[in-house]
Amino acid sequence: MVEEKVEKKNKEEKILEVKEKVEEAKKEMVKKKNKEDRIGVLNIYTTFNNTIMNLTDMSGKSLAKFSGGQSTKQDRLKANPTIAMFIAQRVAEEAKDNGITGFYVKIRASTGQNNPGPGAHAAIKSLTRAGFKILSIMDSTKIPRGGPKKKGGRRGRRV
């Protein structure tokens, strides 16, 4: 009988220990949930001559702006994917300083172009390697829809 009572006490103590551990785990989970992810909007303007990246918060306040000309002196290299990766690294540093963990990415090419410049893909890839979440990628390239009358008259422009 004494042994049975000892066994019951041991079981009750073990149950209490497990309950305490569960409560501690719940508290840790609550702490992790309180630490919210901060999201930013990354506007990437890529042409075949340059790459410009503008980081804003969700309200539209600009946090950082970098371009290809700030990373290289040669004009021919400003649209290079390698330079776009350097720009993305600088944006990543600025984002970490501001506590941003994820991005909505808006890519824009020159008006009327079918696809963005060579730097867009490299920049996004570099940001994912830096540990940021890419929530969505949107193409916001402007498309001409008719526009003003072309120069030249009824019979076309004669040279």
pLDDT tens, 84-121?
Answer: 999 999 999 999 999 999 999 999 999 888 889 888 99
Spatial separation of the C-alpha atoms in residues 134 and 42, rounded to whole Å: 10
pLDDT (0 to 100) of residue 20: 85
Determine which helix (DSSP H) or strand (DSSP E) holds 52, and give its type and residue range.
strand 51-57
* Contact between residue 67 and residue 123 where contact means Cβ atoms under 8 Å apart: no
Q: What is the CATH number of domain 38-139?
A: 3.30.420.80
Q: What would the pLDDT profile of 48-58 be if each residue is shown by its tens digit?
A: 999 999 999 99
Cα–Cα separations (whole angstroms), residue 115 to 4, 47, 54, 107: 78, 9, 19, 10
Q: What is the pLDDT of residues 8-49, one digit of tens each?
A: 777 788 888 888 888 888 777 766 554 567 899 999 999 999
Q: What pLDDT, on the 0 to 100 scale, is given for residue 90?
A: 94
What's the burial of 15, exposed, middle or buried (CB within 10 Å: 0-12/13-18/19+)? exposed
Does the pLDDT at position 82 exceed 90?
yes
- Asked if residue 63 lies in contact with residue 55, where contact means CB atoms within 8 angstroms, the answer is yes
pLDDT (0 to 100) of residue 2: 64
Using pLDDT thresholds of 50, 70 and 90, give the confidence band for residue 81. Answer: very high
So where are the chain's domains? 38-139
- Looking at the predicted structure, is the pLDDT value of residue 70 above 60? yes
